[in-house]
Every structure is written in C-alpha cells, then in structure tokens.
Structure 1
Amino acid sequence: MTVQMARHELPAGEDAERFAESLSEHLAGEIGDLEESADLIDSTFITALMALRARCVIDPRAAKVETWEAAVNAMQLGAALFAVTGESGGTVEVRIDRKMRTLRTIGPLSSADAGNWLAAFWLAVICREQQRMTELCEIPLEHLRAPEGQYDEYIYHWVDTLQTYWLRRPGLVEKLTAALQLSHPEVAQIAPQDLLQGLLYPPINLFQHFVRKDEAGFSPALSEALKLHQTYWTLNEERRTDIDGSIALGPLALACLAFDGELPVEVESEYLPKHLLQRSWLGEFPT
C-alpha cells in the first residue's frame, strides 16, 4: 500500500513564481561570470540549489521542464565545483546551463568539502549522471576534509561508504556500520541534535535498507525520513517558510536509486517530486 505524505505549507502564489524567476535570472548571470573566473563557483552552486528548491515550491511534482533544468544546472555546478578545485593552473571543459564552458582550475577551496560533496552526489544520482557520480567518488577522502570542528567524524565515513558502494570497493558493510555508529546522537558532538536526527542521520539509515534490498523495510524507512524532514522544517516559523525544506534531497536521491533498482518505493510526497523520482525528463536535453 502506497503511503501519501503531504508537504508542509510553503509560500506560494505570484510572489513565489517571481522569486523563482528572479533566482533563475540571477543564476544565469553567475554562470556566465564563471568563464572569467571560477573563484565564486561555490556561491554559484548555492544559488543553483536555491533555484531548484524555489522551482519545487511552485512545481512540487517537477512536471515542468524548468524544474528539470534547475536540477540539471545544480547537478552540473556541483560536479564543476570539485572539477575546478582539484588542482590549479589548468582548465576543465564542463557543460553548465546547456553550454560547454572552459573554466580555469583554482586549486583547493575550503567549501569543496564533504558537506557539499554529499549535495553534489545526491544531485548526480537524481539526474542519473553516472559519469559524474564516478568522478565524484574518485575524489580522495582527504581532499574533502574541512577544518577541525566543522563536521562530526561520521560524515567522512558516510562519504567513504557511498564511494565504496558506487565504485564497488571492498569493506562496504564495515564502513556503513561505522557511519551509523558515529552518527548516533550520543557520539556526534558538532551537529545540532535536531539537524542530526531530522536531516543528517535518516539518509544513512535509509541507505542500509537499500543496500540490503530490504523491500519490507525501505518504504517505511523512507516515510520516517520524510516525517523527520517535516518535523525539522516546521519547528518554528522561520524554518516553516524556508524553501530549503521544499524537497528532501538525500531521501529523494536514495529513492531514485531504489526506483532504478526496482526496489518498491511505496511513498508518494511532494518532498520527493514525482518526475524527478521517476526520471520523466531524462534525455530532454544534453546534461
């Protein structure tokens, strides 16, 4: 039986439409500037994520091509962030916003870290960009370390788990177990408890059901992840109106993996835009 999970109410109407259009226009300008200098690519990636979430506010099923294009732009920028920060002194050819672009590499950037890696990887999964998934998974873990005190240690085990899964390296069970144990509220000390329990831990828990091909457990775990997502984003009025809560990025990506792997996804929700989950727009234009 399919579970229906309603999204919490977000600002809609003409103001939301104008905001989404304004973000898209602003993003196009930022993308154009990258060919002069890629120094601000991290902020451009953040703008692209905002643009995607704004589109999902007004198009919760991702039924419009503009929403798919926003997802693709965010995915391309996430991958490009790591492509230009791997080394310096050269150039890379990347496709962003329907155009091949030559960007100068800028060397290490503090924002090219494990947190943004997860966002970039989720977007590559959602867009079914296997080559970019592979490129992201080939980035050495030590290159993703942030200054001490920014992240709990579990995040590096989590990234290592995902890289190990995708590249079919040995030790998946041990690495996933470490990520689960170290993300426990009694162990993790840096992330706020509501953030950890509401947004950070659920994808790890969901992944363990996915890799075990747990048909009976995956959808209940997905439903629980969305409930925790909603609880986090409705804790107060400031969060309730924040467009970041419009989609559950990590759970959506894991639901995409399950969908593609023919593992039943028996949850329907605007937190999981239908046409992103079901890859309805795949092939609409080069990505």
Structure 2
Amino acid sequence: MSHTSVPRHPFPTGTAEAGLAVLQEELQELIDGLEADSTDLGDTQRVALTLAQSHCLLDPRASIFPTWDAWVSAMQVGSAVFAAATTTEGHVQCRIAHKDRTLRATGAQWYVHPGTWLSAFYLAVVCREKDRITALCRVPLSLLRENGSRFGEYDYAWIDTLQTYWLGGQDLVTKLVTAVDATDPEAVDDPETVGKLLYPPMEMFHRFIRRDQDGFNKALANALQWHKQYWSDEEQAFQISGLVALAPLAMACIAHDAGIPIEVESEYVPAVLIKPNWCGEFPT
C-alpha cells in the first residue's frame, strides 16, 4: 500500500492561542484542587484531554514540547482517575503535571465508566506508559458497569478485548469477535457514532493481531475518513474532540512499536506521537 494522506477537516485557528491559555489556567486550577477534592478528577480528565487535543490544532505533528507536556498531563490524570477509584488504601500517590500528589480514594464515581477508561488507556498507550497500561487493564469491568448505564455492550466487550490482549489472557480472538458483533448497526442505539468512531479501531486491532500490514494501513485510512466524516458534520465541526482521532492514534502506536510501518499521514494522528520520540523527555 502506498502512502495515503487524510487531511483534517477545516477548523478555525483565529482564537486558538487565547483558547489554549484559558484551558491551561482552568486545568491548573483543577489539578491544584485535586488533593482537597479528588472527585474533581472527572472534570480534570475532560479538560486535560481537551487541552492536549487543542495543542494539536496549531501543532498538528505534535513536534513541540508544550504539546507533549499536555499529552503527558492528560495521560497522568486519566490514570489517576482509576488509581483513585480502585485503591484499597485511603489515598494514593499520583504524579500529575510534574508533581507528586496525594489523592483520596474515590471508589466508583459518575465519571468512572467505559468512556473515561478508553480515553485513559489510549493516552497511556500513546505515552508508552507500560505500568499504567497494566494498572488500567486490571480495573474490573464490574467497576465500569456501576455507572456505565449509557454505554453499550460493545464498549465492555472492547475493553475486555484490550485488557486480555495486554495481560496476555485467553480467548482474545473470541472477545474481539464479540466486540465487533456488538457494533452491528441493527443492534445499537446510535449506529452513526458506533459505525464511524467505535468500530474502526476494532478493525485496526483485528488487522494488527493478524500482522496484516496492508490491511492495517487500509483500516487506519478508513478509520480516519470516517472520523473526518463524523466530525465534519455541522453540529460537530467545531468540537475540539474531533481534532485528534485518539483510538486510531493509539492503535497506530501499538502497530508501530510491533514493527508495522504506518503508511497513512494525517493531522488526526500526529506523526511525532506515533513514534515514541518524546518518551523519556522528563519523569512522568
């Protein structure tokens, strides 16, 4: 397969610098308040991910340090959500934004669900944080079900697949098939979102475990085309969430590290994040 390019949908950049400054300030306040109220982790995770993606508006390759710094902070907050939710002690030490912070145990919370788990997992994969990925893969599905009423079976089946893959468990292919089958448009409430955003990384993963290099790159190109279609829709076009295709980016990182050449270029999957160039830049 020759190199393919999927350009990002048009997105206004006029107020980007000012927007980054506001987000940065909001995030810093949230992070500094976490030791006093660790249940703010849900809002902090949302803002941290928004800031990381916003950096890629003006730095689409993720080639400058502040972008990496923001991605690491988002990864640290995402992991902290689950460290605080699962700890059996009264508190847990988490490094966030260049400082060790003592967070209180939170147990299950409104924000502890499949969506935040997947974000945390994908971020840990992009940042190549093996210990954090392992910790996330030990989070029981039962905990994610406690507040995950608005999530579909495909979410749980997909998480089960990713946890099984990372921990080297049994029945990986069967679990992946279960996840893919659960995304059948006939079986889901929102076929548009499921078909364009949730199914494509499953197809990429399927190609990856089969070591199908061409198939993987085709699946990546398709995933980015669907991502673009979804986020180009009038209602979604100015949402920061559309700037980076987080799940396909994480799958591309896994494939890259396993020796599959990535032959698709796109602002949706920042090139410098696909290669672990930044890893080890500072203690995380």
Question: TM-score normalised to the size of structure 2?
Answer: 0.97
Q: Tell me the equivalent position of 2:211.
A: 213
> What letter is aligned with 2:113?
D
Q: For the Cα contact (< 8 Å) 1:89–1:106, is it kept in 2?
A: no
Question: Deviation at 1:149?
Answer: 4.4
* C-alpha separation in 1, matches of 2:253 and 2:106: 33
Give, in angstroms, the shift of residue 81 of structure 1. Answer: 0.3
Letter in 2 for 1:282: C
Paired with 2:197 and 2:165, the residues of 1 have a C-alpha distance of 21
Q: Which residue of 2 aligns with 1:139?
A: 139
Residue 7 of structure 1 corresponds to: 8
Equivalent residue runs for 1:41-52 within 5 Å: 41-52=41-52
Counterpart of 1:99? 99
Cα distance, 1:88 vs structure 2:
6.6
DSSP-derived class of the 1:186 partner: helix
What whole-Å deviation, never above 9, does each CA across 1:133-168 have from its counterpart, x for those lacking one?
000001111111145741111111110000000000
Distance 1:103 1:151 in 2: 27
Q: Is the 8 A contact 2:108 2:146 kept in 1?
A: no
Q: Which runs of 5+ in 2 are unaligned?
A: none
**DSSP-derived class of the 2:187 partner:** coil
**What is the identity, as a one-letter code, of the residue corresponding to 2:37?**
S
* 2:234 aligned with 1:233: no
Tell me how far 1:110 sits from its aligned partner: 2.5
Aligned partner of residue 253 in structure 1, secondary structure: helix
Residues 135, 149 of structure 1: CA spacing in aligned structure 2 closer, same or farther, 3 A cutoff? closer
Identity %, equivalent residues: 44
* Structure 1 runs, 4 residues or longer, greater than 3 Å off: 146-149
Match of 1:276, as an amino acid?
L
Classify the secondary structure of the residue corresponding to 2:105.
strand
1:36: Cα distance to partner?
1.2
Provide the TM-score with structure 1 as the length reference: 0.96
Aligned length: 283
Q: Deviations over 1:196-232 (max 9, x none)?
A: 1111111111110111111120000000000000000
Q: Which of residues 261, 264, 267 is equivalent to 1:264?
A: 261
Matches within 5 A, 1:57-72: 57-72=57-72
Distance 1:147 1:54 in 2: 28
Which of 181, 198, 201 in structure 2 is aligned with 1:203?
201
Partner of 2:274: 277
SS at match of 1:283: coil
Cα pair 1:87 1:108 within 8 Å, conserved: no
Q: Secondary structure at the match of 2:108?
A: coil
1:51-102: CA deviation from partner (whole Å, max 9, x where unpaired)? 0111111111101111101110010000000111125761101100011111
- In the other structure, the counterpart of 2:39 is 39
Q: Which deviates the most, 247-256 or 108-117?
A: 108-117
Name the amino acid aligned to 1:273: P
- Whether the 8 Å contact between 1:35 and 1:104 is mirrored in structure 2 is yes
Amino acid at match of 2:212: D
Gaps of 5+ in 1: none
